[in-house]
Copies of this chain bind each other. A is one copy, B any other.
Amino acid sequence: MNNYINALREHNLKATPQRLAIADILHTKGHIAIEPLYEVMLKKFSSISLATIYKNINLMVANSFIQEVKIPHAKSLYELTKDAHSHLLCQKCGEVTDITVDLNSVISSASQKSQFKIEKLDLVLSGLCKNCQ
């Protein structure tokens, strides 16, 4: 099942074909940058404009339907909002994969030290994947 019509509406986004396609692509790819997303979208919508991509991505981020992932030395990626997770970057092949690590102790220790009320963590672990080692 792969129907994002309601998910979009729950985020106050009209369910247009272009947006449904973006949701599908993010679902399939996990995360993707603007230009590659545009390339894929062109296959389905031969006259889609980059402006439409930007407008939708910005609105989807603003409405928390998707999230931006900032990667060291690379363009930002975008992914569907889901449970908290971190990202692994292979410094050689550039692949980015999701990983879930327990960060509770980090949060509590950082809260204590800083007296911040911490709401979220953005963590990217960089190194060499199994293949590239």
- A interface, CB within 8 angstroms of B: 68, 70-73, 86, 88, 90-91, 97, 99, 101-103, 105-107, 109-110, 113-130, 133
Q: Report how far A71 CA is from B76 CA in the complex, Å.
A: 11
In contact, A101 and B97 (Cβ under 8 angstroms): no
Contact check, A128 vs B117: say whether CB atoms are below 8 A apart.
yes
Give 29 A-B contacts (CB < 8 Å), ordered by A residue: A68-B73, A70-B71, A86-B110, A99-B110, A99-B114, A101-B106, A101-B113, A102-B109, A103-B106, A105-B105, A107-B125, A110-B125, A116-B125, A116-B128, A116-B129, A117-B128, A118-B125, A118-B127, A119-B126, A119-B127, A119-B128, A120-B125, A120-B127, A121-B124, A121-B126, A122-B122, A122-B124, A122-B125, A123-B123
